[in-house]
Amino acid sequence: MTLTTWAGSHTFRGGPLEHPTSVEEVARVVAAARHVRAIGSRHSFHDLADGPGTLVALDRLQVPLAIRDDEGPGTLGATVTVGAGVRYGELARDLHAAGWALHTMASLPHIAVAGTVATATHGSGDSAVNLAAAVRGLEVVGAGGEVRRLGPDDDELAGSVVALGMLGVVTRVTLAVEPTYDVAQEVWLDLPWDIALDRFDELMGSAYSVSLFTDWRGDAVGQVWRKHRVLDAATWSLPDADTELAGARPAPGPVHPVPGVDPAACTQQGGVPGPWHERLPHFRLEFTPSAGAELQTEYLVPRARAVEAITAVRGLREQVAALLQISEIRTVAGDDLWLSTAHGGPHVALHFTWKPWRAEVEAVLPVLEDALAPFQARPHWGKLFADRDHRLAELYPRWDDARALVARRDPGGVFANDFVRRYGLRD
């Protein structure tokens, strides 16, 4: 069996590779295996979902989509329950057709629901919690093949959502939804860095979602993408240039985040309102994700330390830029999930899309992490990082609780692998 992550950055080991089509079949596979890891859309860049033992792919799992709208005190409100292997882009189309929406989406709609929430993958916006924080319930096949269901009042839910596959194979996910809405996306070019940093809070709060794209060189941020929620498409018009965009200029046409790349794969720009799921992601579902051949790294720092952290990375611009395709800076609202990178309050994400040069990138990661260490930078679980000095446990107040939950639910290490042991998530 030769199976790689979607960008070819890691070749999975283990096997056999199973493609169960029902929850009952997942349970039988898990009960019969000594070691199990679940894989979804394989949008990771290392061995997070690696073996040993049986690999369970969820892309053929048949779970009917179920939308429920509960009203009144003590209810969940509107939710959707979906199969773990469904991609967000596919879920979004079905939701929109039924008149519903998610509060945010990641830049890529190609990623599967279970893997996305298990790694605290996020969208962007001052008020937008990460995608995992929308989870209101989980169905999980545990180490003996038993099926457990966790609801919003379950004491273990906050520790089970961002769990990196350590607690079992997730088969169903219940997410909060809201009535569908429109979004308009605009792009600005060459925002001076001094304006971006001096007015950082105003800039990042100037639209529902704001992304800054930079190669860290020069005196200006290369691109500013702003996504506005539109109340009435018939009367919508783009807001006038704000003081936080002083010195920037509107893009004359569609652009790709990576300079020089054809923007055909990107969602519609130019301030034209359209359905939320066709604007919130940066890329269209029907195209190759992002740049294709790449590596990725991301660190989240507390919002209050964002400008200091950005300044620290700018001090490494020559080392970083030589390996870089593009960087993105976004904001994420805080949540209470135990291993979420946004646990405890609002954060700012510093994302790096690297050239596919594994050795060179891995050599610069410790340098980058040393520079960001004073700002309690948490690495994205699904992307490349080093943690050479074993700092992770210090960054999560509920770390010991998460380890205890894993030990209780999987004492035999059925769902353990090298990744979770390497970073101290279990013995």
The pTM assigned to this predicted structure is 0.96
pLDDT class of 8 with cuts at 50, 70, 90: confident
Q: Which residues contact 299 (CB under 8 A, 6 or more apart)?
A: 309, 349, 350, 368, 369, 372, 377, 378, 379, 380, 385
d(CA 323, CA 401): 38
Mean pLDDT in the chain?
A: 95
Please report the pLDDT score of residue 14 as a whole number: 80
376: left (phi over 0), alpha (psi -120 to 50) or beta: left
Alpha helices in 250-382 (DSSP H): 306-314, 317-321, 358-372
Please report the pLDDT score of residue 15 as a whole number: 82
Please report the pLDDT score of residue 5 as a whole number: 87
% of the chain exceeding 70 in pLDDT: 97
| E runs forming strands in 152-219 | 169-176, 178-179, 182-192, 209-214
Kind plus residue range of the DSSP H or E element containing 232 = none
Average pLDDT over residues 153-167: 97
